[in-house]
Structure 1
Amino acid sequence: MNYIDPHIHMVSRVTDDYARMAQAGCVAVSEPAFWAGFDRSSAQGFHDYFVQLTEFEPKRAAAFGIAHHCWLCINPKEAEDPGFAREVVALIPQFLDRPTVLGIGEIGLNKNSKNELTILEEQL
């Protein structure tokens, strides 16, 4: 039986995981942008991450017959500095027309702060 994994973070996984997923019948994945476990220090770091999600991961997945789709955003954990967050949000439109991009995500609130809410609303 084939399946689709609707929420997975492959940028932090090894290539062997794609092989195992393909063997188990995975035909497609959907990867939302996420917090890396540390705050990124520059908008360029996000640009590189978005390139990884839109160029590198689809090729890596395709090598195993898996379609890779993604969602792009700035995570609420990195939205406390609105100026920085806006720099990142301004990068997103250049990626939205790429064939594997589904939309904006994984967004929401972490601490329910005013800054998080502002950036959430701006991403919506």
Structure 2
Amino acid sequence: MKRRWFPLVVLAGVVLMGCGGIEEVPAQQSLATVESALVTCTATCGDGSTLSCTGETCTASDNFHVTCDGVRQDCPTPPTECTTRRSCEATNGRSCYEPRARLDCCTAEETPGICVCGASRWACIF
């Protein structure tokens, strides 16, 4: 009679060990670790706007860019002083009427230059 109970006791022991032997905590721990690893970076651009991003890694450089997890966002390019100036190449040699008058200009490469009126023609230095 004792032999009949032995397989049942072994089976009950295996079931009890299987129920309490594994703990499911690591999944919650890894989720908490990922959430706490996120960082946010912000950069202020020259025009007053801001860029920001969130990721596991980030860098920010005011007036230039932010980068999160390898994805880079650049600040808008500020207008140069050449945005509103006349072309030196187009002005050079054209007629002018006021001797020694000066005119700011820019080259095709956006390098600032100056034109001076002399002998009724613009002479540009760039």
Provide the TM-score with structure 1 as the length reference.
Answer: 0.20
- Larger relative contact order (CA 8 Å, sep ≥ 6): 1
Provide the TM-score with structure 2 as the length reference.
Answer: 0.19
Larger Rg: 2
Name the one with the larger helix percent. 1
Name the one with the larger strand percent. 2
